[in-house]
């Protein structure tokens, strides 16, 4: 099951004012160029996930739709985290990339990181979600990944903050979670039709962001 997402934070100009790069029309042109439709980003899709039994208390995040609540990290992965490896997500990502994985590894849950790898005959990519307890921790981890993995200039209108790493992987912050799409083990061109592996990371992240709420 997929719920309507909260509106993404839009990039700002260097002077702090709202930038045109964050408008819907620009987002449509950009995502369409890598094979991802705006409908996949802004409307409900078939993404889904398993049930969560974390039992953590819900709180409302800053910089998000006030009708959506975010949950601190619990003993078990959240519904949102489980979406990255769910059957529905596998199907939607396959449709976006034009190729089907030979195997998706059994998800792991270690140190509040939920992760699995999409394996193909000519490479693989790994998706992981780190869950935090509050907005300050989430922003700190997001910035930590930028320092560790390198951060390309420019803003990406996904979630509540996103950037491409030096190797083209994608990092997205949403509620109290940070998504990493690691494409370091993919060839430079991947998919059908072939696209840059950095576009693969953007496509996968966009598919997942269309379904994420605070759950």
**In the prediction, which pLDDT does 39 show?**
36
**Does 4 reside within a domain?**
no
pTM score: 0.71
Any idea what the CATH number is for the domain that residue 200 is in?
3.40.1000
**Does 135 reside within a domain?**
yes
Which tokens hold the place of 22?
A: 């964050």
**Does 15 reside within a domain?**
no
Q: How many domains does the chain contain in total?
A: 1
Which tokens hold the place of 131?
A: 């869950």
Query: Contacts from 141-146 at CB under 8 Å and sequence distance 24+?
Result: 141/178, 142/171, 142/173, 142/178, 145/171, 145/178, 145/180, 146/171
d(C-alpha 94, C-alpha 167), whole Å: 22
**Does 214 reside within a domain?**
no
**Does 8 reside within a domain?**
no
pLDDT tens for the chain, residues 1 to 215: 343 333 334 334 334 433 333 333 333 333 444 344 333 333 333 444 443 333 333 333 333 444 446 666 667 898 889 999 999 999 999 999 999 999 999 999 999 999 999 999 999 999 999 999 999 999 999 999 999 999 999 889 999 999 999 999 999 999 899 999 999 999 999 999 999 999 999 999 999 988 776 55
Omega into 193 within 30° of 0, i.e. cis?
yes
d(C-alpha 123, C-alpha 183), whole Å: 9
Domain of residue 106 covers 20-209
């Amino acid at each position: 099951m997929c719920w309507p997402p909260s509106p993404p934070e839009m990039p700002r100009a260097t002077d702090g004012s709202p930038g045109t790069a964050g408008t819907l029309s620009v987002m449509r042109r950009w995502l369409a160029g890598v094979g991802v439709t705006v409908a996949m980003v802004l409307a409900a899709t078939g993404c889904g996930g398993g049930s969560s039994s974390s039992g953590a208390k819900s709180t409302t995040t800053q910089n998000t739709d006030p009708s959506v609540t975010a949950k601190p990290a619990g003993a078990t992965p959240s519904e949102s985290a489980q979406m990255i490896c769910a059957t529905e997500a596998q199907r939607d990502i396959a449709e976006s990339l034009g190729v089907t994985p030979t195997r998706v590894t059994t998800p792991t849950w270690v140190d509040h990181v939920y992760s699995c790898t999409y394996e193909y005959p000519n490479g693989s990519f790994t998706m992981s979600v780190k869950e935090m307890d509050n907005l300050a921790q989430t922003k700190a981890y997001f910035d930590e990944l930028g320092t560790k993995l390198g951060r390309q200039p420019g803003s990406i209108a996904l979630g509540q903050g996103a950037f491409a790493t030096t190797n083209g992987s994608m990092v997205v912050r949403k509620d109290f979670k940070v998504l990493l799409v690691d494409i370091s083990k993919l060839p430079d061109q991947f998919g059908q039709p072939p696209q840059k592996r950095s576009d693969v990371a953007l496509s996968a992240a966009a598919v997942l962001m269309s379904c994420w709420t605070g759950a």
